A = this chain, B = another copy of it.
Amino acid sequence: MAPLNEEQLQQIRDERKEQIIEAALRVFARRGIIGTKMSMIASEAGISAGLLYRYFNSKDELFTTLVQQAIDESIAGIKSIYQLPGTPLDKIKTLTAEILNEGSQFYFMLMHHARTSDEVPITAKKLIEENTMKTYIDILEPLFIEGQKKGEIAEDNPSELISCYLSLLSGLMTVNIQGDENYQIPKVDLLLRFIVRPS
């Protein structure tokens, strides 16, 4: 019954906040900003609705936090491609496979809602406007050019090629849904065929 010390309290707070963020991501991703009720996030996080407000001032703030996080993680994820082993094309294949299989789908869906919905808080809107596809193209361009030099990658305009690659990937991740057994994420090799230089 002794009161917790400062440090322990802070730790509880951090854990709770993480709990909430993860719960919110799952719910917002599936249901969008209006479709999501604060009570849903609360019950997904296993806490009461009122407690949410000790960690986030409003639904908007919570949503915006998630958008920020999605942007940060997606940039970091793309940048990580340079740490991967192998030739440029190897790297691209590995990263693509990781994205397709891994749990990043929630982020794609969240960002789709954030881009499409009109109810998005202005702050989040701004974050999105500053985070255009150009950001990602700039990161990937050196790698694609290197791949083209090596003759691995098709000789199109690299920027256009990357844009197309990202659009396809993003479309797949956003649209992919359970419930239609005919709807399957394509195999990586099939998907990347349009990047690969015909031999």
Q: A78 interface residue, CB < 8 Å from B?
A: no
Contact of A34 among B32, B171, B183 (CB under 8 A): B32
Q: Are B175 and A35 in contact (CB under 8 A)?
A: no
Complex interface bits, A117-130 against B, C-beta within 8 A gives 1, otherwise 0:
11100000000010
How far does the Cβ of A164 sit from chain B's closest Cβ, in whole Å?
4
Q: Are B186 and A167 in contact (CB under 8 A)?
A: yes
Interface residues on A, range: 35 or more
Q: Which residue of B lies closest to A113 (CB)?
A: B32
Q: Which residue of B lies closest to A135 (CB)?
A: B182
Q: What residues of B have a CB within 8 angstroms of the CB of A198 in the complex?
A: 198-199
Q: Which chain A residues in 110-162 approach chain B with CB under 8 Å?
A: 112, 115-119, 129, 132-134, 137, 154, 156, 160-161
Give the interface segment out of A18-26, A52-60, A66-74, A189-197: A189-197
Q: A30 interface residue, CB < 8 Å from B?
A: yes
Contact of A163 among B133, B134, B183 (CB under 8 A): B183
- Provide the bound-state CA to CA distance between A160 and B191, in Å: 12
Q: A31 interface residue, CB < 8 Å from B?
A: yes
Contact of A156 among B32, B176, B190 (CB under 8 A): B190
Name A's B-contacting residues (CB within 8 A): 30-35, 109, 112, 115-119, 129, 132-134, 137, 154, 156, 160-161, 163-164, 167-168, 170-177, 179-187, 190-191, 193-194, 198-199
> Could you write out 29 A-B pairs with CB less than 8 Å apart?
A30-B118, A31-B116, A31-B119, A32-B32, A32-B35, A34-B34, A34-B35, A35-B35, A109-B116, A112-B174, A132-B180, A154-B193, A156-B190, A163-B182, A163-B183, A164-B191, A167-B175, A167-B183, A167-B185, A167-B186, A168-B171, A171-B171, A171-B176, A174-B174, A175-B175, A190-B194, A193-B193, A193-B194, A198-B199
The 4 closest A-B pairs by CB, nearest first: A171-B171, A133-B182, A193-B194, A164-B186
